[in-house]
Chains A and B, each alone.
Chain A
Amino acid sequence: MDQRSQDIDLQQEAGAKFHRGSALSIFKNDRREDWMALLCAMAIVIGVYFTVS
């Protein structure tokens, strides 16, 4: 996990135990989650653009 991520605190607060990701995310760090969000959004945009007339 990214040691500078604020999720470290959240993980301790939530008391969850995940050896991957953090208490708030299944991804290794925030930036990877950002890229995934961007990819998902782009997929939706392309899908809507070509399927909705």
Chain B
Amino acid sequence: MAKKPSQRRNFQDEEMELNLTPMMNLIAILIPALLVSTVFVEIAVINVSAPAIGTAPDAEPPKDKPDKPPLNLTVTVTDKGYTLAGSGGVLNTVGADAEAKGPTIPIIQSQVDCQHYLGTWPPPRSKNRSQAKCEDVGPRTFWVYDRGALTKKFLELKDAFPEETRMIIAAEEDIEFEAIINVMDSGRESKKEGDEARELFPEVVLSPGLS
């Protein structure tokens, strides 16, 4: 029966609100799950070849002229420093006389920003273990590898042998992975202030034994 307009006010509202509960459930569960599993670190990789112990060596034909002998630049990492050698012989300690029998670039004591080494010591750890670990951010003195001198040496070698791109890295048994990555970093390219990055020895070969 048709009702008078004044009697139509008991209508229930036809328009219902969208039931958001399932959608909110989804969001309330997915967002914390994704937040927990998100890792805010960026990953990169370094290509390394090891023909000495691998079965199939990298099939790269030598690009340099055949009459130039390969340099075979070898960096040996010990807990006393870096020793550089090439096919011409072992490079002697920088700044010392020819008779000295030490690493080419010995470790130095220097101020280190603890931010990268929280909870541990910077490499070479065997030398730094006697001190307290890096607890707070801030500079502290440790024995560290002289990466600045290493880069300088690499630049000199690159100037002398501009077509060489290969670097062999060997190390003592207890040298840590981080120290080796540091050598690879120093040898990959050099970034001088104002100049562009210069590629040094990006091809890395890891050698298992000691020289």
A and B pair up: no
Interface residues of A (CB under 8 A from B): none
Interface residues of B (CB under 8 A from A): none
